[in-house]
Amino acid sequence: MSAISEQKIPVLRELEPLLPANEAVIKDRIVSSIYQQAEAICRQAVKTGKPPVNLDARLDGILTSRWLGFPIMLLLLALVLWITITGANYPSQLLAGGLFWLEEQLASLFMAWGAPAWLYGILILGVYRTLAWVIAVMLPPMAIFFPLFTLLEDLGYLPRVAFNMDNLFRRAGAHGKQCLTMCMGFGCNAAGVTSCRIIDSPRERLIAILTNTFSVCNGRFPTLIVLATIFMGALVAPAYSSMLAALVVVGIIMTGIVVTLFISYLLSRTLLRGVPSFFVLELPPFRKPQLGQIIIRSLLDRTLFVLGRAVVIAAPAGALTWILANSFVGDVSVFTRLTSWLDPLGQIMGMDGIILMAFLLGLPANEIVLPIIIMGYMSAGSMLELDSMSALRTLLLDHGWTWITAICVMLFSLLHFPCGTTLYTIFKETRRARWTLLALLLPLILGILTTLLVNQGAGLIKL
């Protein structure tokens, strides 16, 4: 009884002689008394009739079966993404058309007023154009993806995923509940990190916190979906393009899960050694989803929340990027100076300086990485109107993008530092600067190595 011998608390000093040594046995006796009485009460108050055919159990038998569990999981994921990619295309173009028509109107309004060129530059070419782009490209996929994901959540599918993955996580030396926190991370990494509180053991909880960033979050899904659509989709016949794009995004997500397992394995063998603890996971009954609720909640809570965050951060970032790109030291703009300094590193990683700059400026929110890349390219000369995905494709191709570039950007989007909010949450949860630093460096180093390998490997076999 080490706790007693500390003698900090006077009451314990007095009671010590009374307390028996077999605490664990007493705990068991207390628990079993409570159970017995709960049972006795239930005998009085609950009558069970013959239950109807148990559809839940049958469905669970299929969804969590050894052979079908994983394929069904992947299929559902691919289906959700395919619906998103196919469905988002048309509204995206419509929105972009509308927003850029509005830009022209605003431009002529500025002309009529005789506004100075720098004001027009900052407000229209900087702020408005970035915002229009964020909304046109990100809103439609989110408005389709989030309700579908919420639907799966409401049905009760996520615990089945955790059940399927439990064994893998345990083999990686992590806690089975980590799968739930990982799923939470697909929504938002900051929320995922907070949800790690459901894991009891500090060791396993830290593993879950440190690997949460490998779940592709809401802020990164749109980037992945857009890049997959315009680059991967173009590799095959149009009929299959959205299917391939969906599969590529599934591939990136799966890469994230594999990395999660791999890093969990490494951590549990090195820094955070220990034996995985057992836990009981309850498979909740499937429930009839509340469709109205799902649509309202996922649109308001998720879609508008993510979009709002993107807009709030993208507006000043758009202005900043424009200012950087239009202030000159000598005859080279500040933006170009900064990006050309990053360029060598970017090049060996299959990307370029502007892309790396965008990831750095995107620290507050992953949502704005792609908009900043576009801003960067547009300010670097070619001022084309971005009114559709194909225009975006042309812009990126003009700046030397290949599908290898797209893959590297997608991989780096999966594997770089967590966003500012997530880092802050990690610090709040661990209360240690060094774990926060590790959470930053671990994915970053991994991302640099991975893109380096992919790019150099592709160069070697001359793809």
Partner 1 sequence: MTVNCHIVSTEPGKDNPTVRNHFIIALAGNPNVGKSTVFNRLTGMKQHTGNWPGKTVIKAEGTFYHRNRRYTLVDLPGTYSLHAGSADEQVARDFICFSRPDITLVVSDATCLERNLNLVLQVLEITSQVVLCVNLMDEAKRKRIQVDTEKLAQELGIPVVGTAARSGQGLNRLKNVLGDMVDGKIVTSPRCVVYDQELESLVQQIEPRLAIYMPNWVNRRWVALRLLEGEFNLLNHIPHNALMDYPRGEIKEDGALCLL
User: Where along the sequence are the contacts to partner 1 (CB under 8 A)?
Assistant: 1, 3-4, 9-12, 14-15, 18-20, 23-24, 26-27, 29-31, 33-35, 37-39, 41-42, 44-52, 150, 153-156, 158-159, 177, 180, 194-195, 197-200, 202, 205-206, 281-282, 284-285, 287, 290, 293, 297, 300-301, 428-432, 435
CB of residue 180 to partner 1, shortest distance in Å: 6
**Nearer to partner 1 among residue 11 and residue 239 (C-beta):** 11
Any idea what DSSP says for residue 229? I
CB of residue 79 to partner 1, shortest distance in Å: 19
CB of residue 131 to partner 1, shortest distance in Å: 26
DSSP secondary structure letters along 194-212: HHGGG--SHHHHHHHHHHG
**Nearer to partner 1 among residue 47 and residue 66 (C-beta):** 47
Any idea what DSSP says for residue 326? H
Any idea what DSSP says for residue 365? -
The answer to whether 410 touches 228, Cβ cutoff 8 Å, is yes
CB of residue 177 to partner 1, shortest distance in Å: 7
The answer to whether 324 touches 378, Cβ cutoff 8 Å, is no
Helix (H, G, I), strand (E, B) or coil at 329: strand
**Nearer to partner 1 among residue 52 and residue 400 (C-beta):** 52
What gap in Å lies between CA 239 and CA 141, rounded to an integer? 19
What gap in Å lies between CA 304 and CA 371, rounded to an integer? 18
What gap in Å lies between CA 128 and CA 96, rounded to an integer? 12
Q: Which residue has the tokens 């009739």?
A: 49
Task: Give me the sign of the Cα torsion angle 99, 101, 104, 108.
Answer: negative
CB of residue 14 to partner 1, shortest distance in Å: 6
Alpha-helical segments (H) within 212-273 = 221-227, 238-269
**Nearer to partner 1 among residue 115 and residue 198 (C-beta):** 198
**Nearer to partner 1 among residue 197 and residue 273 (C-beta):** 197
**Nearer to partner 1 among residue 154 and residue 387 (C-beta):** 154
**Nearer to partner 1 among residue 20 and residue 114 (C-beta):** 20
What gap in Å lies between CA 282 and CA 148, rounded to an integer? 23
Nearest to 189 by CA among 212, 219, 223: 212
The answer to whether 439 touches 423, Cβ cutoff 8 Å, is yes
Indicate the residue type of 193: V
CB of residue 263 to partner 1, shortest distance in Å: 18
Number of other CB atoms surrounding residue 220 within 10 Å: 25
CB of residue 262 to partner 1, shortest distance in Å: 22
CB of residue 281 to partner 1, shortest distance in Å: 7
CB of residue 282 to partner 1, shortest distance in Å: 6
Give strand pairing partners of 332.
Answer: 329
